[in-house]
Homo-oligomer: A and B are copies of this chain.
Amino acid sequence: MARPTRISQTALLATARDLFLEHGYDVSTATIARAAGCSEGTLFKRFKSKEGLFREAMGIPDFDLEGRVEALVGQGDFQESLTNLCLEIVDYLRVLVPRVIRLWAHENSQLSRFMQRRRGPRAALSALTHYFEAETALGRIAPEDPELLARVFMGSLHNYVFLELIGVPTRMSARAFVRGLVSMIHDGIAPAMGVPQTGTGR
């Protein structure tokens, strides 16, 4: 066995990822090497090119929503389960969104490949769709278009994370936001029955 490389591949990739996430593709390889504590030569020995490093460092992380969904369908209180699911999705999106944006911004067309991945974001969306289908089949929610429903949830969560990312201040914590979201969509916003449509407002 040769002597182990000084800096582990994982650590190097983590360093590169942090820099790519913070500054985009434009960080120089010199900067990355310095931050990782190795030489530029090493970088190019291990990865063929900067592009290669970027691709490996910025790969989209897996998220087994499918598995989570299966475990949750029909279990416990619907709103509570959905709330928990949403909070997990928020955690995932906080990792995913900046990466997707940096990938898209560099448009190295790796993005579309990543998007197709099992356990990637598209899979997450369809898993959520399946969840709603299953719960509809169980009669736990009204029969609505489950994909639309999934997109409304995903969209609201994505937007929450996105605003957070670009630094627009929020007064609502993620938990509060998700609770409100679930309850509102559950109940709808139609005025209470029997109440005349012309406002009783003051």
Contact = CB atoms under 8 A, between A and B. Distances in A.
A91 B23 CA distance: 30
A14 interface: no
Interface stretch (A5-13, A51-59, A133-141): A133-141
Nearest to A78: B199
Given A77-B199, A159-B155, A189 B138 contact: no
B137 A202 contact: yes
A172 B33 CA distance: 46
Contact of A142 (B144, B167, B192): B192
A170 to B, nearest CB: 9
A36 to B, nearest CB: 17
Interface in A23-73: 23-24, 26, 39, 41
Given A148-B184, A184-B145, A137 B190 contact: no
Interface in A99-156: 100-102, 104-107, 111-112, 115, 122, 136-142, 144-145, 147-149, 151-152, 154-156
Q: How many copies of this protein are present in the complex? A: 4
B201 A181 contact: no
Interface string A153-168: 0111111101001111
Interface of A: 2, 23-24, 26, 39, 41, 74-79, 100-102, 104-107, 111-112, 115, 122, 136-142, 144-145, 147-149, 151-152, 154-160, 162, 165-168, 172, 177, 180-181, 184-192, 195-202
